[in-house]
Structure 1
Amino acid sequence: MNVAAPQDGPWLDDAAGRLIRPYTVSDGRTRPTTEFDLLTLVMATGAALPVHLGPEHVAALGLCDDPTSVAEIAGHLRLPAVVTKVVLSDLVDCGAVHTHAPILQHTPTDRDLLEAVLDGLRRQL
Protein backbone atom coordinates (compact mmCIF):
# COMPACT_ATOMS: atom_id res chain seq x y z
CA MET A 1 0.00 0.00 0.00
CA ASN A 2 1.35 3.41 -0.97
CA VAL A 3 0.32 5.89 1.71
CA ALA A 4 0.42 9.55 0.71
CA ALA A 5 2.81 12.03 2.28
CA PRO A 6 1.66 13.81 5.47
CA GLN A 7 1.19 17.10 3.61
CA ASP A 8 -1.50 15.38 1.52
CA GLY A 9 -3.67 15.13 4.61
CA PRO A 10 -4.20 12.50 7.26
CA TRP A 11 -5.20 8.98 6.40
CA LEU A 12 -4.98 9.20 2.62
CA ASP A 13 -3.96 6.39 0.30
CA ASP A 14 -3.00 6.95 -3.34
CA ALA A 15 -5.22 4.15 -4.61
CA ALA A 16 -8.03 4.02 -2.06
CA GLY A 17 -8.36 7.69 -1.16
CA ARG A 18 -9.43 8.64 2.35
CA LEU A 19 -9.10 5.68 4.71
CA ILE A 20 -11.56 7.01 7.28
CA ARG A 21 -15.10 8.14 6.63
CA PRO A 22 -15.49 11.94 6.40
CA TYR A 23 -18.14 12.07 9.12
CA THR A 24 -15.70 10.44 11.54
CA VAL A 25 -13.80 13.73 11.37
CA SER A 26 -16.85 15.61 12.67
CA ASP A 27 -17.83 12.92 15.21
CA GLY A 28 -20.94 12.27 13.13
CA ARG A 29 -22.14 15.87 13.39
CA THR A 30 -23.74 17.26 10.26
CA ARG A 31 -24.73 20.73 11.44
CA PRO A 32 -22.17 23.43 12.18
CA THR A 33 -22.75 25.75 15.13
CA THR A 34 -21.83 28.74 12.95
CA GLU A 35 -23.56 29.77 9.72
CA PHE A 36 -21.30 29.46 6.66
CA ASP A 37 -21.80 29.48 2.95
CA LEU A 38 -19.14 28.30 0.50
CA LEU A 39 -17.88 31.85 -0.07
CA THR A 40 -17.53 32.75 3.61
CA LEU A 41 -13.95 33.84 4.30
CA VAL A 42 -12.17 32.33 7.29
CA MET A 43 -9.01 33.74 8.91
CA ALA A 44 -6.89 32.61 11.86
CA THR A 45 -6.95 34.79 14.97
CA GLY A 46 -3.65 33.57 16.41
CA ALA A 47 -5.35 31.99 19.44
CA ALA A 48 -4.03 28.64 20.64
CA LEU A 49 -5.85 25.53 19.49
CA PRO A 50 -7.37 23.30 22.20
CA VAL A 51 -5.66 19.93 22.55
CA HIS A 52 -8.84 17.91 21.95
CA LEU A 53 -9.22 18.94 18.31
CA GLY A 54 -8.07 16.58 15.56
CA PRO A 55 -5.60 16.75 12.68
CA GLU A 56 -8.22 18.11 10.27
CA HIS A 57 -8.73 21.05 12.60
CA VAL A 58 -4.99 21.71 12.61
CA ALA A 59 -4.84 21.39 8.81
CA ALA A 60 -7.83 23.74 8.37
CA LEU A 61 -6.29 26.29 10.71
CA GLY A 62 -3.05 26.12 8.72
CA LEU A 63 -4.98 27.15 5.61
CA CYS A 64 -6.38 30.26 7.29
CA ASP A 65 -3.28 32.46 7.59
CA ASP A 66 -4.85 34.62 4.88
CA PRO A 67 -8.60 34.94 4.31
CA THR A 68 -9.64 31.65 2.70
CA SER A 69 -13.08 30.57 1.52
CA VAL A 70 -14.89 27.59 2.98
CA ALA A 71 -14.92 26.03 -0.51
CA GLU A 72 -11.12 26.31 -0.81
CA ILE A 73 -10.59 24.81 2.62
CA ALA A 74 -12.91 21.90 1.80
CA GLY A 75 -10.99 21.28 -1.42
CA HIS A 76 -7.62 21.28 0.30
CA LEU A 77 -8.85 19.01 3.08
CA ARG A 78 -10.59 16.72 0.59
CA LEU A 79 -13.70 16.73 2.75
CA PRO A 80 -17.35 17.37 1.91
CA ALA A 81 -18.36 20.99 2.47
CA VAL A 82 -20.73 20.12 5.32
CA VAL A 83 -17.97 18.30 7.23
CA THR A 84 -15.59 21.19 6.60
CA LYS A 85 -18.20 23.60 7.96
CA VAL A 86 -18.44 21.52 11.17
CA VAL A 87 -14.63 21.55 11.53
CA LEU A 88 -14.53 25.31 10.93
CA SER A 89 -17.37 25.94 13.38
CA ASP A 90 -15.32 24.10 16.03
CA LEU A 91 -12.48 26.51 15.29
CA VAL A 92 -14.83 29.51 15.52
CA ASP A 93 -16.23 28.20 18.83
CA CYS A 94 -12.75 28.01 20.38
CA GLY A 95 -11.72 31.42 19.01
CA ALA A 96 -9.03 30.12 16.66
CA VAL A 97 -10.64 31.65 13.54
CA HIS A 98 -13.13 34.34 12.67
CA THR A 99 -15.31 34.64 9.60
CA HIS A 100 -16.67 37.38 7.41
CA ALA A 101 -18.77 37.60 4.29
CA PRO A 102 -16.83 37.85 1.05
CA ILE A 103 -16.48 41.17 -0.72
CA LEU A 104 -18.19 40.60 -4.05
CA GLN A 105 -17.06 42.76 -6.92
CA HIS A 106 -19.98 41.66 -9.08
CA THR A 107 -23.62 41.15 -8.42
CA PRO A 108 -24.64 37.47 -8.58
CA THR A 109 -26.52 38.15 -11.81
CA ASP A 110 -23.72 40.08 -13.52
CA ARG A 111 -23.83 38.81 -17.12
CA ASP A 112 -20.09 39.40 -17.69
CA LEU A 113 -19.23 37.27 -14.68
CA LEU A 114 -21.56 34.46 -15.73
CA GLU A 115 -20.13 34.51 -19.27
CA ALA A 116 -16.57 34.37 -17.90
CA VAL A 117 -17.49 31.34 -15.79
CA LEU A 118 -19.11 29.66 -18.78
CA ASP A 119 -16.04 30.35 -20.94
CA GLY A 120 -13.79 28.88 -18.24
CA LEU A 121 -15.92 25.74 -18.03
CA ARG A 122 -15.87 25.33 -21.80
CA ARG A 123 -12.06 25.54 -21.81
CA GLN A 124 -11.91 22.76 -19.19
CA LEU A 125 -14.00 20.38 -21.31
Structure 2
Amino acid sequence: MSVEQRPQEYRDHPVRSYVLTGGRSHPTRNTLRPETLLLAVDPPRLPPPADRQARELVRLCRGTLALAEVAAYLGLPVSLVTVLVSDLVDGGYLTLRSNHQPHLLPGRGILETVLDGLRNL
Protein backbone atom coordinates (compact mmCIF):
# COMPACT_ATOMS: atom_id res chain seq x y z
CA MET A 1 0.00 0.00 0.00
CA SER A 2 1.51 3.34 -1.03
CA VAL A 3 1.70 6.40 1.19
CA GLU A 4 -1.18 8.06 -0.69
CA GLN A 5 -3.44 5.04 -0.18
CA ARG A 6 -2.89 4.65 3.55
CA PRO A 7 -5.57 6.17 5.75
CA GLN A 8 -4.38 8.97 7.97
CA GLU A 9 -3.21 7.59 11.27
CA TYR A 10 -4.45 8.96 14.55
CA ARG A 11 -1.92 11.39 15.93
CA ASP A 12 -2.18 12.11 19.64
CA HIS A 13 -1.22 15.56 20.86
CA PRO A 14 1.99 15.40 22.94
CA VAL A 15 0.56 17.74 25.61
CA ARG A 16 -2.70 16.76 27.28
CA SER A 17 -5.65 19.12 26.89
CA TYR A 18 -6.03 19.76 30.60
CA VAL A 19 -2.45 21.04 30.73
CA LEU A 20 -3.16 23.60 27.99
CA THR A 21 -6.24 24.92 29.80
CA GLY A 22 -4.84 24.87 33.31
CA GLY A 23 -7.09 21.97 34.29
CA ARG A 24 -10.33 23.70 33.25
CA SER A 25 -12.83 22.00 30.98
CA HIS A 26 -15.42 24.79 30.68
CA PRO A 27 -14.99 28.29 29.21
CA THR A 28 -15.71 31.39 31.29
CA ARG A 29 -18.43 32.42 28.85
CA ASN A 30 -21.22 30.30 27.43
CA THR A 31 -21.80 32.37 24.29
CA LEU A 32 -19.05 30.71 22.25
CA ARG A 33 -20.25 28.40 19.52
CA PRO A 34 -18.26 26.71 16.72
CA GLU A 35 -19.55 29.29 14.22
CA THR A 36 -18.60 32.30 16.39
CA LEU A 37 -16.28 34.58 14.44
CA LEU A 38 -13.02 35.64 16.10
CA LEU A 39 -10.85 38.66 15.39
CA ALA A 40 -7.56 39.64 17.03
CA VAL A 41 -7.37 43.04 18.70
CA ASP A 42 -4.84 45.34 17.00
CA PRO A 43 -2.07 45.24 17.98
CA PRO A 44 -2.20 41.83 19.64
CA ARG A 45 0.22 42.06 22.57
CA LEU A 46 0.17 38.85 24.52
CA PRO A 47 1.92 38.74 27.87
CA PRO A 48 5.33 36.98 27.90
CA PRO A 49 4.08 33.86 29.69
CA ALA A 50 1.53 33.17 26.91
CA ASP A 51 1.94 29.66 25.53
CA ARG A 52 2.52 28.68 21.91
CA GLN A 53 -1.14 27.77 21.30
CA ALA A 54 -2.36 31.19 22.48
CA ARG A 55 0.16 33.00 20.29
CA GLU A 56 -0.75 30.88 17.25
CA LEU A 57 -4.46 31.34 17.93
CA VAL A 58 -4.13 35.14 18.01
CA ARG A 59 -1.94 35.07 14.89
CA LEU A 60 -4.60 33.08 13.02
CA CYS A 61 -7.30 35.53 14.08
CA ARG A 62 -5.64 38.55 12.47
CA GLY A 63 -8.21 37.81 9.80
CA THR A 64 -11.73 36.85 10.86
CA LEU A 65 -12.09 33.10 11.40
CA ALA A 66 -14.75 30.90 12.96
CA LEU A 67 -13.86 29.10 16.18
CA ALA A 68 -14.20 25.73 14.43
CA GLU A 69 -11.80 26.84 11.69
CA VAL A 70 -9.23 27.93 14.26
CA ALA A 71 -9.53 24.54 15.98
CA ALA A 72 -8.96 22.80 12.65
CA TYR A 73 -5.89 24.90 11.84
CA LEU A 74 -4.43 24.25 15.30
CA GLY A 75 -5.31 20.55 15.17
CA LEU A 76 -7.00 20.79 18.59
CA PRO A 77 -10.51 19.82 19.73
CA VAL A 78 -13.14 22.57 19.48
CA SER A 79 -13.91 22.21 23.20
CA LEU A 80 -10.28 22.92 24.08
CA VAL A 81 -10.05 25.89 21.72
CA THR A 82 -13.28 27.25 23.23
CA VAL A 83 -11.60 27.45 26.64
CA LEU A 84 -8.48 29.07 25.16
CA VAL A 85 -10.54 31.59 23.17
CA SER A 86 -12.61 32.41 26.23
CA ASP A 87 -9.44 33.29 28.15
CA LEU A 88 -8.13 35.44 25.29
CA VAL A 89 -11.44 37.29 24.98
CA ASP A 90 -11.48 37.89 28.74
CA GLY A 91 -7.92 39.24 28.50
CA GLY A 92 -8.86 41.63 25.69
CA TYR A 93 -6.73 39.93 23.02
CA LEU A 94 -9.62 38.69 20.85
CA THR A 95 -13.03 40.09 20.00
CA LEU A 96 -16.11 38.15 19.02
CA ARG A 97 -18.14 38.79 15.92
CA SER A 98 -21.38 36.91 16.19
CA ASN A 99 -24.07 37.00 13.55
CA HIS A 100 -26.55 35.50 15.99
CA GLN A 101 -29.71 37.56 15.96
CA PRO A 102 -31.98 37.54 18.99
CA HIS A 103 -35.23 35.77 18.25
CA LEU A 104 -37.94 38.31 17.56
CA LEU A 105 -41.46 37.36 18.54
CA PRO A 106 -44.28 38.13 16.11
CA GLY A 107 -46.62 40.96 17.01
CA ARG A 108 -49.84 40.47 18.91
CA GLY A 109 -51.93 41.05 15.77
CA ILE A 110 -50.26 38.20 13.90
CA LEU A 111 -50.67 35.84 16.83
CA GLU A 112 -54.38 36.70 17.13
CA THR A 113 -54.85 36.11 13.39
CA VAL A 114 -53.21 32.69 13.65
CA LEU A 115 -55.28 31.83 16.72
CA ASP A 116 -58.49 32.87 14.95
CA GLY A 117 -57.50 30.76 11.92
CA LEU A 118 -56.88 27.74 14.14
CA ARG A 119 -60.23 28.19 15.87
CA ASN A 120 -61.97 28.26 12.48
CA LEU A 121 -60.58 24.86 11.50
Gap regions ≥5 residues in structure 2: 1-8, 102-121
Correspondent of 2:32 among 32, 36, 39: 36
The within-5 A match list for 1:99-118 is 99-102=96-99
Would you say how many aligned residue pairs link Structure 1 and Structure 2? 91
TM-score (norm 1): 0.65
Correspondent of 2:66 among 69, 82, 85: 69
User: Is the partner of 2:38 in helix, strand or coil?
Assistant: strand
Choose 1 or 2 for highest CA Rg. Answer: 2
CA RMSD of aligned residues (A): 2.0
Gap regions ≥5 residues in structure 1: 1-13, 105-125
CA distance in 1, matches of 2:100, 2:12: 34
1:27-80 superposed Cα distances (whole Å, 9 cap, x missing partner): 111111132000000000124112222110001001101110000011111111
TM-score (norm 2): 0.67
Q: Shift in Å at residue 102 of structure 1?
A: 3.4
Aligned residue for 2:111? none
CA distance in 2, matches of 1:37, 1:28: 21
User: Is the partner of 2:95 in helix, strand or coil?
Assistant: strand
Instruction: Decide whether the 8 Å contact of 1:36 with 1:85 is kept in 2.
Output: yes
Task: Give percent identity, aligned residues only.
Answer: 29
Q: Shift in Å at residue 82 of structure 1?
A: 1.1
